Amino acid sequence: MPASKSKSEPRSGASTFLKGKKGGRLKLLCRYCHAVYDGKGWIPFKKMDPKMIDQLHASVCPACHETMSHLSDGVLHIQGAGVKAHLTDITNLIKKMGKEAEGRNILDRVERVDQDRNGLMVYTTINQLAVKIGKAVASAYKGGKLEIKWSREDKPVEVYWTYDKVKK
Protein backbone atom coordinates (compact mmCIF):
# COMPACT_ATOMS: atom_id res chain seq x y z
CA MET A 1 0.00 0.00 0.00
CA PRO A 2 1.64 3.28 -1.01
CA ALA A 3 1.99 5.87 1.67
CA SER A 4 -0.26 8.84 1.25
CA LYS A 5 1.35 12.18 0.61
CA SER A 6 0.70 13.64 4.00
CA LYS A 7 2.30 10.67 5.67
CA SER A 8 5.53 10.86 3.71
CA GLU A 9 6.11 14.43 4.75
CA PRO A 10 8.10 15.15 7.87
CA ARG A 11 6.17 15.17 11.05
CA SER A 12 5.11 18.63 12.11
CA GLY A 13 5.37 17.75 15.73
CA ALA A 14 7.29 19.20 18.61
CA SER A 15 10.68 19.58 16.96
CA THR A 16 9.53 21.48 13.89
CA PHE A 17 7.14 23.49 15.93
CA LEU A 18 9.70 24.68 18.43
CA LYS A 19 12.46 25.38 15.95
CA GLY A 20 11.04 28.76 15.10
CA LYS A 21 10.72 29.61 18.74
CA LYS A 22 14.30 28.99 19.72
CA GLY A 23 16.34 31.62 21.47
CA GLY A 24 13.60 33.09 23.53
CA ARG A 25 12.06 31.86 26.67
CA LEU A 26 8.74 32.43 25.02
CA LYS A 27 5.77 31.30 27.02
CA LEU A 28 2.97 29.95 24.90
CA LEU A 29 -0.64 29.13 25.45
CA CYS A 30 -2.36 26.72 23.11
CA ARG A 31 -5.52 28.40 21.94
CA TYR A 32 -7.33 25.07 21.54
CA CYS A 33 -6.51 22.94 24.57
CA HIS A 34 -4.91 25.59 26.79
CA ALA A 35 -1.72 23.63 27.28
CA VAL A 36 1.10 25.95 28.30
CA TYR A 37 4.68 26.00 27.04
CA ASP A 38 6.73 27.27 29.96
CA GLY A 39 10.05 27.58 28.12
CA LYS A 40 10.99 23.94 28.72
CA GLY A 41 8.01 21.83 27.84
CA TRP A 42 4.25 21.69 27.48
CA ILE A 43 2.31 21.38 30.70
CA PRO A 44 -1.36 21.50 31.64
CA PHE A 45 -2.71 24.98 32.24
CA LYS A 46 -3.53 24.23 35.86
CA LYS A 47 0.07 23.29 36.58
CA MET A 48 1.36 26.61 35.33
CA ASP A 49 2.94 29.11 37.67
CA PRO A 50 0.19 31.76 37.92
CA LYS A 51 2.84 34.46 37.64
CA MET A 52 3.35 33.41 34.04
CA ILE A 53 -0.14 34.32 32.94
CA ASP A 54 0.77 37.79 31.65
CA GLN A 55 3.64 36.44 29.57
CA LEU A 56 1.65 33.96 27.54
CA HIS A 57 1.44 34.27 23.78
CA ALA A 58 -1.39 32.56 21.96
CA SER A 59 -0.15 29.60 19.96
CA VAL A 60 -0.95 26.03 19.01
CA CYS A 61 0.64 23.11 20.83
CA PRO A 62 2.20 20.25 18.81
CA ALA A 63 -0.61 17.85 19.72
CA CYS A 64 -3.37 20.18 18.51
CA HIS A 65 -1.31 21.05 15.46
CA GLU A 66 -0.98 17.37 14.64
CA THR A 67 -4.66 16.74 15.18
CA MET A 68 -5.66 19.59 12.90
CA SER A 69 -3.27 18.67 10.13
CA HIS A 70 -4.23 14.98 10.31
CA LEU A 71 -0.66 13.92 10.95
CA SER A 72 -1.38 11.36 13.62
CA ASP A 73 1.68 9.39 14.65
CA GLY A 74 -0.36 6.36 15.48
CA VAL A 75 -3.38 4.83 13.83
CA LEU A 76 -5.14 1.86 15.32
CA HIS A 77 -7.67 -0.08 13.25
CA ILE A 78 -10.08 -2.11 15.30
CA GLN A 79 -12.15 -4.31 13.07
CA GLY A 80 -13.96 -7.59 12.74
CA ALA A 81 -17.33 -9.13 13.38
CA GLY A 82 -16.65 -9.49 17.10
CA VAL A 83 -15.98 -5.80 17.62
CA LYS A 84 -19.61 -4.73 17.33
CA ALA A 85 -20.71 -6.70 20.38
CA HIS A 86 -18.14 -4.92 22.52
CA LEU A 87 -18.13 -1.54 20.85
CA THR A 88 -19.00 0.49 23.93
CA ASP A 89 -16.55 -1.31 26.20
CA ILE A 90 -13.75 -1.05 23.68
CA THR A 91 -14.45 2.65 23.08
CA ASN A 92 -14.43 3.28 26.83
CA LEU A 93 -11.14 1.45 27.23
CA ILE A 94 -9.59 3.55 24.47
CA LYS A 95 -10.82 6.78 26.00
CA LYS A 96 -9.64 5.78 29.45
CA MET A 97 -6.17 4.98 28.16
CA GLY A 98 -6.10 8.25 26.27
CA LYS A 99 -6.92 10.18 29.43
CA GLU A 100 -4.23 8.32 31.35
CA ALA A 101 -1.62 9.03 28.69
CA GLU A 102 -2.57 12.68 28.61
CA GLY A 103 -2.30 12.78 32.39
CA ARG A 104 1.30 11.62 32.14
CA ASN A 105 2.21 13.89 29.26
CA ILE A 106 -0.15 16.52 27.97
CA LEU A 107 0.98 15.96 24.38
CA ASP A 108 0.23 12.22 24.42
CA ARG A 109 -3.36 11.92 23.36
CA VAL A 110 -6.04 9.98 21.65
CA GLU A 111 -6.95 12.54 19.03
CA ARG A 112 -10.02 10.96 17.64
CA VAL A 113 -12.03 7.77 17.57
CA ASP A 114 -13.97 7.30 14.36
CA GLN A 115 -16.54 4.64 13.87
CA ASP A 116 -17.30 3.14 10.51
CA ARG A 117 -18.88 -0.06 9.26
CA ASN A 118 -15.66 -2.01 9.79
CA GLY A 119 -15.21 -0.95 13.36
CA LEU A 120 -13.15 1.81 14.92
CA MET A 121 -10.25 3.97 13.83
CA VAL A 122 -8.22 5.45 16.63
CA TYR A 123 -5.77 8.29 16.01
CA THR A 124 -3.06 9.04 18.53
CA THR A 125 -0.45 11.79 18.73
CA ILE A 126 2.37 9.39 19.58
CA ASN A 127 2.87 6.05 17.91
CA GLN A 128 3.56 4.20 21.16
CA LEU A 129 0.08 5.04 22.37
CA ALA A 130 -1.58 3.33 19.40
CA VAL A 131 0.57 0.25 20.06
CA LYS A 132 -0.18 0.31 23.76
CA ILE A 133 -3.93 0.57 23.23
CA GLY A 134 -3.81 -2.16 20.59
CA LYS A 135 -2.04 -4.46 23.02
CA ALA A 136 -4.45 -3.61 25.82
CA VAL A 137 -7.48 -4.35 23.68
CA ALA A 138 -5.92 -7.56 22.41
CA SER A 139 -5.26 -8.77 25.93
CA ALA A 140 -8.71 -7.78 27.15
CA TYR A 141 -10.40 -9.76 24.38
CA LYS A 142 -8.58 -12.99 23.71
CA GLY A 143 -8.84 -14.53 20.31
CA GLY A 144 -8.20 -11.48 18.19
CA LYS A 145 -5.23 -10.87 15.92
CA LEU A 146 -2.86 -8.01 16.59
CA GLU A 147 -0.61 -6.70 13.88
CA ILE A 148 1.79 -3.78 14.23
CA LYS A 149 3.18 -2.16 11.13
CA TRP A 150 6.01 0.16 11.94
CA SER A 151 6.99 2.39 9.10
CA ARG A 152 10.42 3.74 8.32
CA GLU A 153 12.15 6.61 10.06
CA ASP A 154 9.98 6.97 13.08
CA LYS A 155 6.96 7.77 10.94
CA PRO A 156 3.40 6.82 11.87
CA VAL A 157 2.71 3.33 13.06
CA GLU A 158 -0.36 1.41 11.96
CA VAL A 159 -1.80 -1.10 14.35
CA TYR A 160 -4.48 -3.58 13.35
CA TRP A 161 -6.52 -5.53 15.76
CA THR A 162 -8.96 -7.90 14.13
CA TYR A 163 -11.50 -9.66 16.26
CA ASP A 164 -13.85 -12.01 14.49
CA LYS A 165 -15.13 -13.94 17.44
CA VAL A 166 -18.83 -13.51 17.83
CA LYS A 167 -20.01 -14.36 21.30
CA LYS A 168 -21.28 -12.56 24.32
Distance CA 144, CA 165 (A): 7
| Nearest by Cα to 133 from 125, 142, 122 | 122
Question: Which residue number, 103 or 143, has a Cβ lying nearer to Zn ion?
Answer: 103
Pairing of strands 74-79, 157-162: parallel
Cβ neighbours of 55 (radius 10 Å): 14
Residue ranges that bind Zn ion, judged by CB under 5 A: 30, 32-33, 35, 61, 64
**Could you tell me the smallest distance in angstroms from the CB atom of residue 37 to Zn ion?**
10
Question: Which residue number, 98 or 119, has a Cβ lying nearer to Zn ion?
Answer: 98
**Could you tell me the smallest distance in angstroms from the CB atom of residue 66 to Zn ion?**
9
Please state the φ and ψ torsions of residue 32, each to the nearest 5 degrees.
-100, -50
Question: Which residue number, 57 or 145, has a Cβ lying nearer to Zn ion?
Answer: 57
**Could you tell me the smallest distance in angstroms from the CB atom of residue 9 to Zn ion?**
21
